[in-house]
Each structure stands twice: as structure tokens, then as C-alpha cells.
Amino acid sequence: MSVERTDQEMVLRLIERSRLLVAISEEIPVATKLQVQPLLKQLENLITDEQPDLDGIYATHAQLERELVESADLTALLGAMRTFLPS
């Protein structure tokens, strides 16, 4: 039996998975990890705001994509996340 989830819940789950993958990945340099973790937190905060800042959400997501372009797994997670971002 599948559980219906809102787009916001899906994005938050993907952010959490991204956070974990960044933390355990050996292919991501420490400097990149230190840059990406606050961006993931910022995206989480932007998504959960009462009035989501769409420009901020998409700008933060784009920055994450640029920072993590070298990681195929994270690129896939960010691609899936894009599907559920508010429009």
C-alpha cells in the first residue's frame, strides 16, 4: 500500500537523502560538503516557509546542482527534486 505524499513532503525527503549522501560520500571534497550542507538547510527553510520564495528556491536548487555536478547520485536526486519544487 503506497502512501500519498505532498510535493513539499517529497522535496523534504529528497533533501534529507541528499544531506545523508553528501555526508557519507567519499567522492565529494570536504570543502564542497561544507558549502552544500548550508545550501540544503536553506532550501529546506525556503520550502517550508508559509509564503515560499520561488526565486530563492530555484536559485538555491541551481546552486546545489552546480556544486554537485560531479556526483551522479546527487545529480539524480536533485533532478528528482526539481520535479516536486513549487511552481
pLDDT of 2 strictly over 80: no
In sequence order, the 6+-apart residues with CB closer than 8 A to the CB of 8 are: 47, 48, 84, 86
pLDDT, position 4: 87
pLDDT, position 49: 94
pLDDT of 87 strictly over 90: no
Compute the mean pLDDT over every residue in the chain, rounded to the nearest whole number: 95
Per-residue pLDDT, averaged over 50-62, amounts to 96
Cite the DSSP H helix spans in 1-87: 7-24, 30-48, 54-67, 72-84
pLDDT, position 76: 96
Per-residue pLDDT, averaged over 37-46, amounts to 97
pLDDT, position 3: 80
